[in-house]
Amino acid sequence: MKARSLILSTAARVVYPVLIAFAIFLYWRGHNAPGGGFIAGLLTSAAIVLRFLASGRKQEPGLGVPFVTAVGVGLAIAVTTAFGPLLFGHMFFTHTYGFVDLPLIGRIELATAGLFDLGVYVVVVGNVITVISAMTDPE
């Protein structure tokens, strides 16, 4: 992936934030409408891969941490949400939810299941990018 395409890289720069925003939107609405952590994770991965293709860089684009770490972080989030209820005297994997009123936005729902879904999201992104970047840059 050495030959850079100017059109692709320019387009990617515009499309990338849109895709990420859409992924966050999909994650957020997942509990009540089509979407969720898994789908959002795949979309984010696709967005990152797009930037990866467009930039043609050898380095993984991202936060400066290897994406393998994300796998561990995601699993940690998921496990923590699963065991968290134990500290409050509830069963393993008990989820709860509540509603919060925010100014301007109105009433939104917060569910602990969303936190678990966040773990799913992070694992999926970590998995896809790890595998793809390992394939393209095997050194």
Partner 1 sequence: MWGLLVASLLPFAGAAVLPLLCERRSPKAGWVATAFMATAFALISIATPTFLHHSARMSLQWAPVLGLSFGMAADGLSLVFSLLISGIGTIVFAFAAAYLGFQENRVRFFCYMLIFAGSMLGLVLSSNLIGMFVFWEFTSVSSFLLIGFWHEREASRNGAFKALLVTASGGLAMLVGFIVLGILAGSFEITDVVAARASIAASPWAAWAAGFVMLGALTKSAQFPFHLWLPSAMEAPTPVSAYLHAATMVKAGLYLVARLGPVLSIVPIWTPTLTVVGIATMTWCSYLALRQTDLKALLAFSTVSQLGLIMALLAQNEPAATAAGILHTINHGLFKGALFLLVGIIEHQTHTRDLTRLPSLARTMPRLYVPLALAAISMAGIPPLGGFISKELFLDTIVHMPWPIVVIAVFGACLTVAYCLALAVGLGIGRRVGEDTGRLHDAPTSLLWGPSLLVAGTVLLGLVPQPLVGNLLESATNAATASTQAHVHLSLFHFTPTLLVSAGAIVAGALVFTWLWLPRTPHAPKLISDLIYERTLSALEKYAQALTAAYMSGLLWRYLIIIVLTGFAAIGYVLVSIGLGPASAWPARPAQSFGYAVALIPVGAAIGAMFAPTRLSAILALGASGYSMALLFSLLGAPDLALTQIMVETVSIALFLSAFVHLPAYGSPRSRRFHPFHLVVAAVSGFGIAGLVWHARGQRVVDTISKYYVAHSAEQAGGHNVVNVILVDFRGLDTMGEITVLGIAALTCYALIKLRPEGKA
78 touches partner 1 (CB under 8 A): yes
Radius of gyration of the chain (CA): 18
Write each residue from 5 to 24 as x if it is in contact with partner 1 (CB under 8 A), else as -, in one continuous string: --------------------
Which pairs count as long-range contacts for 7-10, CB under 8 Å and 24+ apart, including other chains?
8/53, 8/54, 9/54, 9/55
Size of the site for partner 1 (CB under 8 A): 56
Tokens representing 66 are: 């290897």
Q: How far is the CB of 42 from partner 1 (least distance, A)?
A: 3
C-beta of residue 27 within 8 angstroms of C-beta of residue 110: no
* Terminal-to-terminal C-alpha distance of the chain: 15
92 touches partner 1 (CB under 8 A): yes
Q: Which parts of this chain interact with partner 1 (CB under 8 A)?
A: 26, 29-39, 42-43, 45-46, 49, 53, 68, 71-72, 74-75, 78-79, 82, 86-87, 89-93, 95, 97, 109, 111, 113-114, 116-117, 119-120, 123-124, 126-128, 130-132, 134-136, 138-139
